[in-house]
Amino acid sequence: MIVLHTPAQLSFANNPMIFEFSTDSSNYAYLTVSVNAGSEWKFFSAIYVPIGSNPYRIKFDLSEIVKTFLPLPQLEDVDVITANVIDFITDYSIELEQDDAVYNFDGKVLPGGVSKKMLRYLQENNTDIFAFKYQNFSRNFFLTTRSDGRHIVLKESELTPFYFIGSQNTITILTDQERTYVLSSIDESNVYALDLNVLRKLNFYIYNEMPVYFAVLVNGDFVFDITLLKSSLSSNRQVIEFLNSLHVPERIEITGKPISEPEFDELLPFNTYDNRIDDYLEAHDRRAITEVIHAEAGYKSIQEFHFIRDMLQSSEQFLVKNDGKKLPVIISCDSFKHDMIPVAPGSVPLTIRSIEKEINYSPEVDLSDVLHFREEWFKNGYLNAMGLIYASSLIYSPNI
């Protein structure tokens, strides 16, 4: 059995992971796949029939098998500048046995994937995406789809941790006030999340400075930078969080005026008997409602349009409320179009739908204080600022 093709040692689960072998035997080949699914190993077995004539071929794509067993990545810690992302890189192994020949392969796989266009580019240049970008520390090595360039620009409200694969290189963050932070305890076998929000808070606590520019240095040399712009002050602002194509959370600010247009389930009337009048009346059950918001994305550059496309393709989307809570939603666009070479920013209409129907209603939670005005309440007389009447007879005095 001769090996013709294997994936790289590090692969994305949403891209092909092709194994191909040549053999002079037409007998069955027995495959066993082992995947480290977090707390336990998962196993998969299959039998392959060699195709063609001597020499025969055995060919299979492991991606569809492996990604069904991938564990859910999660941050090991919060409120730290660089947190370990647990289970983002998953170990797997295969054993292929035919007659007396046994082939073994050990690899690692990450969730997500890159475009076919990128795969063609990589093949033409005889490289893979990790050697070319995500483990190439002379380039922008963040697992982001916002930008591939050396200048990442985003709004403050869009800032989420930047994921990256660890390295033995020394990675330093330099702020606009020349404060330096060296990322420590970085293991090249793990994925980490660089949280610039935590770094900004720490920098403000130590130096009373809130940085908006961050240069990323590797072994003392500049590689790329991040610039934060002020968020929109409009009350129309909506923030969407989603899993990008690389399975990393990212955010985008939507600034168009939101319009609520809830959808009510169809009214299904039925007849009910009223014994008071000895006749039938029409009645119906409570109707379920789905919250729907229509909003323009706001003026976006061509790069942001491509970023929105990634958001619309995402399998997980959330509407981020002002208090930080995230509501799962489904976001669509009936007409996604823009100039191929825009001379000015444009916009696209978005529809944001709740993923659940609501059959009951509760008012918004009101946690306001008992009293808003420091006034005494009186019986009889004129209205005070709270709309209560007062005169000379005291009925309540707040304890001020």
The string of pLDDT tens digits covering residues 220-279 is 999 999 999 998 777 788 899 999 999 999 999 998 888 988 999 988 888 998 888 888
pLDDT band at 1 (very low <50, low <70, confident <90, very high): confident
Average pLDDT over residues 74-84: 88
Chain centre to alpha carbon of residue 153: 18
Average pLDDT over residues 51-79: 90
Residue with tokens 């916009």: 347
SS3 282: strand
Residue-range domain boundaries for the chain: 2-112, 114-231, 233-367, 371-400
Confidence check: pLDDT of 303 > 90: no
| Region of poorest pLDDT, from 78-82, 175-179, 189-193 | 78-82
376 vs 395: CA distance, rounded Å: 8
With pLDDT > 90 as the criterion, what percentage of the chain qualifies? 64
Per-residue model confidence (pLDDT) at position 374: 47
More confident residue, 64 or 367: 64
pLDDT band at 62 (very low <50, low <70, confident <90, very high): very high
Q: Is the dihedral of CA 345, 349, 354, 358 positive or negative?
A: positive
The model's pLDDT over 354-379, given as tens digits with 9 standing for 90+, comes to 998 989 888 888 877 665 444 544 44
Q: Is the dihedral of CA 306, 309, 313, 318 positive or negative?
A: positive
Confidence check: pLDDT of 108 > 50: yes
Angle in degrees, CA 330, 154, 121, rounded to 5: 80
Chain centre to alpha carbon of residue 371: 42
Tokens of 278: 């000895």
Residue 29: how many other CB atoms lie within 10 Å? 22
* Amino acid in the structure at residue 231: S
Residue with tokens 């500048």: 81
Please provide the average confidence, as pLDDT, over all residues in the chain. 88
Residue 330 near residue 280 (C-beta atoms within 8 A): no
| DSSP 8-state class, residue 134 | I
Per-residue model confidence (pLDDT) at position 257: 86
Per-residue model confidence (pLDDT) at position 379: 46
Q: Is the pTM of this model over 0.75?
A: yes
CATH topology for 2-112?
Immunoglobulin-like (2.60.40)
Per-residue model confidence (pLDDT) at position 362: 87
Per-residue model confidence (pLDDT) at position 341: 77
Average pLDDT over residues 272-293: 89
Per-residue model confidence (pLDDT) at position 399: 53
Per-residue model confidence (pLDDT) at position 397: 52
Per-residue model confidence (pLDDT) at position 184: 79
Per-residue model confidence (pLDDT) at position 400: 43
Q: Which of 222, 221, 226 is nearest to 194 (CA)?
A: 226
Confidence check: pLDDT of 391 > 60: no
Confidence check: pLDDT of 197 > 80: yes
Tokens of 383: 């209205």
299 vs 342: CA distance, rounded Å: 11
More confident residue, 323 or 227: 227
Chain centre to alpha carbon of residue 177: 31
pLDDT band at 387 (very low <50, low <70, confident <90, very high): low
Per-residue model confidence (pLDDT) at position 79: 84
Q: Report, in this order, helix, strand and coil percent for the chain, each rounded to 5.
A: 10, 40, 50
